Amino acid sequence: MEPIDWSNLSFGYIKTDYNVRCYFKNDAWGDIETSQSEYINLHMAATSLHYGQEAFEGLKAFRGKDGKIRIFRLEENAARLQSTCRGILMPELPTEKFREAVIKVVKLNERFVPPYESGASLYIRPLLIGTSAQVGVHPATEYLFMIFVTPVGPYFKGGFSTNPYVIIRQFDRSAPLGTGTYKVGGNYAASLRANKMAHDLGYSCEFYLDAKEKKYIDECGAANFFGIKDNTYITPQSTSILPSITNKSLMQLAQDMGMKVERRQIPEEELSTFEEAGACGTAAVISPIQRIDDLENNKSYVISKDGKPGPICTKLYNKLRAIQYGDEADPYGWVTVIE
Ligand code: PLP
Ligand code: COI
């Protein structure tokens, strides 16, 4: 293999050695299989291709100073995948099966887990698709669950540094009673134009307002939002955003640091009152926000006056990373250490 420049990885796809697969047929999940192929053989009438019966997840493995590999909160990803399965009528993959598959694929690709010093990680991408043929709009009877892994660096430019974001009003990512709380590919298809628009305008990522009233902050295309003020961590309550495992973890860490935590609607104008704010997610980790522009309303909410990450974002980021890399204790059992 070509030597990998671990410290300069972007968030892209690099071929690794193996992926794992598990088939659902005759109402039962089979054994976990190993494959070296990057391809799948799929029926052209598969429900995943036509009716969006597709779910995915994203989690990471980290190599510690001790050389050990740690996987972050995999049970939470298993639970969210099960929730997505209920949401689009796919069979739920048991947590034990999910765990076995994640551990297996990480071990098989151990040489791709970036070294501790690089600050990079191994991104783990599980996906579940309807594979059997269906022409009417109905769920499939057969499914394929698979996981590939790929070493990654930061999702947003500059890693832990501030970036500008923009509210896009022309498009909604998901409806209030739609699929926004599920991790289905359709939500990301719905975000592509807004995301391109944001990038073309020079922003890191697009922000969505709630689709019904266009009044409250929902989330970004690939990360949740949080704001900090008066020693309080504030994050949106909404029926159309993905329940982020990173956000859930940060809420706990903020509370442990003696902060108040609020989950509630955040009106757009409140952005002007935050001392700090960030976008958070597995890929994004914490991406501190420099400012959020609302071009159609001719508004610019500048959050970081000096353009630097604020002290609370920095503290939360360092604490989260320390737990993930095994530098600090893991009081909540978030980490699975690979033996
Ligand atoms: N919101 C969206 C739309 C996402 O795609 C992601 C990424 O998974 C998140 C939020 C963050 O979720 P998590 O922290 O579980 O990765
Ligand atoms: C993640 O953070 O895992 C994501 O899914 C973000 C994006 C790459 C879709």
8 Å CB contact between 42 and 132: no
For residue 284, give the H/E element and its range. none
Q: Which atom in ligand 1 lies closest to the alpha carbon of residue 221?
A: 3
**154 pLDDT above the threshold of 90:** no
pLDDT value for 1: 66
Average pLDDT rounded to a whole number, residues 237-249: 98
Quick one: how many helices (H) and strands (E) in the chain?
A: 7, 18
**DSSP readout, 188-208?**
HHTTHHHHHHHHHTT-SEEEE
Higher pLDDT, 330 or 221: 330
**114 pLDDT above the threshold of 90:** yes
**286 pLDDT above the threshold of 90:** yes
3-state secondary structure at position 151: strand
Residue ranges around ligand 1 (CB below 6 Å): 58, 219, 222-224, 242, 244-247, 281-282
Q: How far is the CA of 281 from the centre of ligand 1 (A)?
A: 5
Q: Which atom in ligand 1 lies closest to the alpha carbon of residue 249?
A: 14
Q: Using CA positions, which residue lies closest to atom 5 of ligand 1?
A: 222
3-state secondary structure at position 292: strand
Q: Using CA positions, which residue lies closest to atom 7 of ligand 2?
A: 222
**157 pLDDT above the threshold of 80:** no
Q: How far is the CA of 125 from the centre of ligand 2 (A)?
A: 9
User: Residue 59 has which token pair?
Assistant: 């989690």
Q: What's the rounded Cα separation, in Å, for the pair 182 and 88?
A: 9
In single-letter form, the type of residue at position 137 comes to V
Q: What's the rounded Cα separation, in Å, for the pair 277 and 292?
A: 10
pLDDT digits (tens, 9 = 90+) for 221-234: 899 999 999 999 99
Ligand 2 pocket mutation pick from 282, 287, 320 by most atoms within 8 angstroms of CB = 282
8 Å CB contact between 320 and 193: no
Q: Which atom in ligand 2 lies closest to the alpha carbon of residue 281?
A: 2
Considering every ligand atom shown, identify the ligand nearest to the alpha carbon of residue 279 and give its number: 1
Q: Which atom in ligand 2 lies closest to the alpha carbon of residue 155?
A: 8
8 Å CB contact between 40 and 130: no
Q: What's the rounded Cα separation, in Å, for the pair 225 and 270?
A: 13
**115 pLDDT above the threshold of 80:** yes
Considering every ligand atom shown, identify the ligand nearest to the alpha carbon of residue 221 and give its number: 1
Q: Which atom in ligand 2 lies closest to the alpha carbon of residue 183?
A: 5
Q: What's the rounded Cα separation, in Å, for the pair 250 and 288?
A: 13
Q: How far is the CA of 252 from the centre of ligand 1 (A)?
A: 17
pTM over 0.85: yes
Bridge-partner residues for 292, per DSSP? 165, 301
pLDDT digits (tens, 9 = 90+) for 163-186: 999 999 999 999 999 999 999 999
pLDDT digits (tens, 9 = 90+) for 38-58: 999 999 999 999 999 999 999
The rounded mean pLDDT for the chain is 97
Cβ contacts of 330-333, under 8 Å, gap ≥ 24: 332/252
Q: How far is the CA of 26 from the centre of ligand 2 (A)?
A: 32
Q: How far is the CA of 283 from the centre of ligand 2 (A)?
A: 5
User: Residue 292 has which token pair?
Assistant: 């959020």
Residue ranges around ligand 2 (CB below 6 Å): 58, 222, 281-283
Q: Cα 250–251–256 angle (5° rounding)?
A: 90
Indicate the range of 153-162, 237-246, 299-308 predicted with least confidence: 153-162
Considering every ligand atom shown, identify the ligand nearest to the alpha carbon of residue 11 and give its number: 2
Residue 87, exposed/middle/buried by CB under 10 A (0-12, 13-18, 19+)? middle
User: Which residue, chain included where needed, has tokens 């266009």?
Assistant: 214
Q: What's the rounded Cα separation, in Å, for the pair 193 and 176?
A: 20
Strands 19-25 and 260-264: unpaired
Q: Which atom in ligand 1 lies closest to the alpha carbon of residue 282?
A: 16
Residue 37, exposed/middle/buried by CB under 10 A (0-12, 13-18, 19+)? exposed
Q: Using CA positions, which residue lies closest to atom 5 of ligand 2?
A: 58
Considering every ligand atom shown, identify the ligand nearest to the alpha carbon of residue 191 and give its number: 1
Q: How far is the CA of 188 from the centre of ligand 2 (A)?
A: 10
Q: Using CA positions, which residue lies closest to atom 9 of ligand 2?
A: 222
3-state secondary structure at position 36: coil
| φ, ψ for residue 133, nearest 5 deg | -75, 140
Q: Which atom in ligand 2 lies closest to the alpha carbon of residue 283?
A: 2
Question: Considering the chain, what percentage of its residues have pLDDT values greater than 70?
Answer: 100
